[in-house]
Amino acid sequence: MLDQKSSETHLGPAMGRAYLCLHGHFYQPPREEPFSGSIPDESGAAPFHNYNEKITAECYRPNVEEDNFEAISFDFGPTLASWLEKTHPDVYAGIIAADRRHVQRYGVGNALAQAYNHTILPLATTRDKYTQIRWGLQDFRQRFGREAHGMWLAETAIDSETLDILAQCGVTYTILAPWQALDEIDPLEPYRIPLRNGRSMTIFFYNAPLSGGVSFDWNTTNDAGAFATSYLPAHLAQGKSEAGDEQLILIATDGELYGHHKPWRDKFLAYLINHSAPDAGFEVCTLERYMQLYPARQETRLREPSAWSCAHGVERWNNGCECTEGESSWKGALRRALVHLAERGDHLFEQHAGTILLDPWAARDDYLALRNGWETPESFWARHARPSCQPGDTALARQLLEAQYYQQYSFTSCGFFFEDLDRIEPRNDIAYARRAISLYWQALHVDLQRDFINDLQSARSWRTQISGADIYHQLPPVAPELLPPCP
- Residue 2 is predicted with a pLDDT of 35
Q: How far apart are CA 435 and CA 429, in angstroms?
A: 10
**Long-range pairs, 391-396, Cβ under 8 A, ≥24:** 393/355, 393/356, 394/356, 396/352, 396/353, 396/356, 396/443
In a domain, 199, yes or no: yes
CB 300 within 8 A of CB 183: yes
Q: Are residues 268 and 386 in the same domain?
A: no
Q: What is the pLDDT of residues 171-200, one digit of tens each?
A: 999 999 999 999 999 999 999 999 999 999
In a domain, 5, yes or no: no
Q: Are residues 68 and 146 in the same domain?
A: yes
Q: How many CB atoms neighbour CB 192 within 10 A?
A: 16
Q: Are residues 331 and 259 in the same domain?
A: no
The CATH number of the domain holding residue 72 is 3.20.110.20
Q: How far apart are CA 296 and CA 191, in angstroms?
A: 5
In a domain, 316, yes or no: no
In a domain, 7, yes or no: no
Domain coverage including residue 465:
327-482
Q: How far apart are CA 128 and CA 343, in angstroms?
A: 12
The total of structural domains in the chain comes to: 2
Q: Are residues 359 and 406 in the same domain?
A: yes
CB 123 within 8 A of CB 87: no
Q: What is the pLDDT of residues 32-84, one digit of tens each?
A: 999 999 999 999 999 999 999 999 999 999 999 999 999 999 999 999 999 99
Q: Are residues 274 and 351 in the same domain?
A: no
User: What is the reported pTM?
Assistant: 0.96
How deeply is 482 buried, as exposed, middle or buried, from its count of CB atoms within 10 A (0-12, 13-18, 19+)?
middle
Q: Which among 251, 280, 299 is the end of a domain?
A: 299
- Residue 243 is predicted with a pLDDT of 85
In a domain, 308, yes or no: no
User: DSSP character for 354?
Assistant: T
Q: Are residues 295 and 331 in the same domain?
A: no
User: DSSP character for 273?
Assistant: I
- Residue 242 is predicted with a pLDDT of 83
Q: Are residues 353 and 236 in the same domain?
A: no
